[in-house]
Every structure is written in structure tokens, then in C-alpha cells.
Amino acid sequence: MNLLFVGDVVGRAGRQILGQQLDRLVDQHAVDFIVVNGENAAGGFGLTMEVVREFRKLGVHAITTGNHIWDKREFIPELDRCPDVLRPGNYPDGTPGRGCAVFETNTGIRVAVINLEGRVFMSTLECPFRKADAYLEELAGKADVVFVDFHAEATSEKMALAHYLDGRVSALIGTHTHVPTADAHILPAGTAYQTDAGMTGSRDSVIGIRKEIAVEKFVTQLPARFEVAKKDPMLCAVLVAIDESTGLASAIERIMVLDS
């Protein structure tokens, strides 16, 4: 099966190019399952039900997130009502939502999606390594394919978790930095890996934010109200081919589509 993972969708520019390009990518690569990281999709910060419905209409099967999932407070109660929207699973027990879910493709392949958040330079959460172990124990016999979105800042933490899970998950792809990395490969035991998928949003920006505002903040060190950039959208994604009989990856490809 072919799984397409689209990196952090940032604001309207990201949603627009996703809507313009997704069908073509699905047809071109015979995609069976689509995962999109949507934590910045609503105005650059968080999610709304309107955006979730927009993604569903595009055919997205699962929406992963990260630390910005809490930015739209009105959406937080929806996390318990949206089985296709995940938040990082290593938040404390009792936090709204879920960090793992199993979906089924039209051909009957059971795809588990796990969402985790890093701890280095980020929040003090439960250990993502041990939480991954717990999820995999729960998933035993219940999934043919296991995909992990690891939303983390440190490349070392992403790489370490990938090696820790090598051979136990089909793919682990990093998100959060919004910059696609050139290290897509298959680890020795069969897990596909890329440190960061990159973002789907304005290329003429500073990680999706209007460049003028970001530059001024760095120069002056004064507070600034970030605004999402809109020009020159691009789509960053990762395509993974997986043998559903073994649950291991056979190929991985970086994808970048620029606005025509």
C-alpha cells in the first residue's frame, strides 16, 4: 500500500495548495491512505471544525497535530468527538482526545496512526518512547500498518525514537520544524524515516509566518503578533510504500510541489 503524509499545513495558503494538488498526487502515486498534520491549519495556529470538514472533503483519512492543537480553545472539546483527529498521545491521562487510532482502507488494510510529541526544547510530557511501547502493545494483532507522526524540535530525539521503533512500525516521520530534511531512507529493520516532512504553506515566509514580522522580532527582540504568510505556497509531503503483509516499508520518497 502507498501512504501519503502531508507536513504541517499552515493557514489558508497551505489549505489552498493542498486542495489544488491532493487529488493529483493521489492519482499519480496510487495513494491508499492520507495523513495530514493540521495543527497550524486554522489561521496558522490550531484547528477548527470547519477545517476538519474541509480536510475530510478532500479525502484525508487521519489528521495529526502537535503542541498547537490547544490554540483554538473552542476546538478542544471536539477532540473527543473526532475519531480521525489525533493529538500527541503522551499528554497526561485525562487530556481530551486520543493519540492513536486504527483506520481501515477500502481494501481492508488496517492502518494505525500514532501521534507523539517530543520533550527536548518543548513541554515536559510523558516519555514518548515508553508511550510508543504502550501503544504498540495495545495494537498487537489489530493493525497491518503502523504510522508515527513524531512532532518534535530536536533532530536527535526524532532519530533516536525512529531507531528505537525500527522494525516495529512501518514509518516514523517528524514534524514541527516546518523545514523538509533530505534524509528520507529505510532503517535497517524496515522502518521508513525522515526527520521532518516540512510544511505546506507559504514558501515566502519564516516557517509560514510573514517574513517582515519575524525579521523585526529577531532584530528588535520586541513582542510581535505573528501573521500567516500567503504568497508562494508549496506542499511538502512524504510518500511511503509499505508491504501490508509484513508491516515494513519498501520505499520512501520526499515530495515538494510548488505553486504553478
pLDDT digits (tens, 9 = 90+) for 5-17: 999 999 999 999 9
Q: Which of 132, 96, 95 is nearest to 115 (CA)?
A: 132
* Residue 124 pLDDT: 87
* Residue 259 pLDDT: 80
68 in active site: yes
* Residue 227 pLDDT: 87
**Residue 212 carries which side chain, given as an amino acid letter?**
E
Residue in this structure with the C-alpha cell 495556529, named with its chain if needed = 45
Across 89-117, average pLDDT: 97
30 Cβ contact list (under 8 Å, min separation 6): 2
The CATH number assigned to the domain holding 21 equals 3.60.21.10
* Residue 9 pLDDT: 97
Across 50-69, average pLDDT: 97
pTM, two decimal places = 0.95
Cβ atoms of 209 and 226 closer than 8 Å: yes
Residue 127 half-sphere exposure toward CB, CA atoms < 13 A = 7
Domain that holds residue 39: 2-258
pLDDT at 260 over 70: no
Q: What is the pLDDT of residues 171-199, one digit of tens each?
A: 999 999 999 999 999 999 999 999 999 99
Active-site residue, selected from the candidate residues 61, 68, 176, 178: 68
Q: How far is CA 207 from the centre of its chain?
A: 15
96 Cβ contact list (under 8 Å, min separation 6): 76, 77, 79, 80, 87
* Residue 133 pLDDT: 98
**What total number of domains does the chain contain?**
1
